[in-house]
Amino acid sequence: MSAASAPPPLADPVLRGLVGRVARYWWVELIIGAVWVVIALVILKFNHASVTTVGILIGIMFLLASAQEFMLAVLDRRWRWLWALFAVLLFAGGILALIHPHNTFAAFADILGFVFLVIGAFWIAEAFAERPVSELWWLTLTAGILMIILAFWVEGEFFLDKAATLLVFAGIWALMHGITDIIRAFQIRRYASD
């Protein structure tokens, strides 16, 4: 590893150990990011998507996000309760979405602004949590701020058709999540020991 690509040193030995364990699995974050991008492309490609298909995709997106939060809960002792709480909520939402995809679509369209507000707030908290280990923490912060802006945009009903709004913004959410995960994977990879 060259000096230019060497990661910043971590002073805290507990944090160094945690980052070292996570860094060995950097490729998992890369695959998850790629899956998010594919989901985003599928959602944004639909012209006349069935409501059921979109409800199922929302359920899958929630389950993927839940798996990531469970992984963080296992690895981060300090914030374990927060990651676990988000993981449980996302898992429950994902299961309900898969059981009732038609209702999921309608309900999600009605509460889209609130959902994006919660996601944006979570991403902002996540950005500050990863600040000591990633020099690109600001990317997650920027995505969180954009999600909050989208939340207010949706609640202001700048689009008349909530179904179209749901498709567009769910696709944007998945795309931002995927890009952030891919960049984070390469940032984490720098901490992997050979």
Give the pLDDT band of residue 187 (cuts 50, 70, 90): confident
Give the pLDDT confidence score for residue 49 in this predicted structure.
Answer: 57
Res. 194 pLDDT band, cuts 50 70 90: very low
- Residue 12 burial (10 A CB sphere; 0-12, 13-18, 19+): exposed
CB 183 within 8 A of CB 152: no
What pTM was computed for the model?
0.59
Check: CB of residue 41 under 8 Å from CB of residue 61. no
Q: When comparing pLDDT for 172 and 7, which is higher? A: 172
**For 189, how many CA atoms within 13 A lie in the half-sphere containing its CB?**
13
> How much is the average pLDDT of 64-89?
86
Q: What is the mean predicted confidence (pLDDT) over 38-52?
A: 72
Residues 66-95: what's their mean pLDDT? Answer: 87
Query: 9-18, 40-49, 133-142, 143-152: which range is least confident on average?
Result: 9-18
Per-residue pLDDT, 24: 83
Top-confidence residue, 5 or 24: 24
- Give the single-character DSSP code of 24: T
Distance set, CA 95 to CA 53, 66, 70, 82 (Å): 15, 11, 15, 20
pLDDT of residue 31: 93
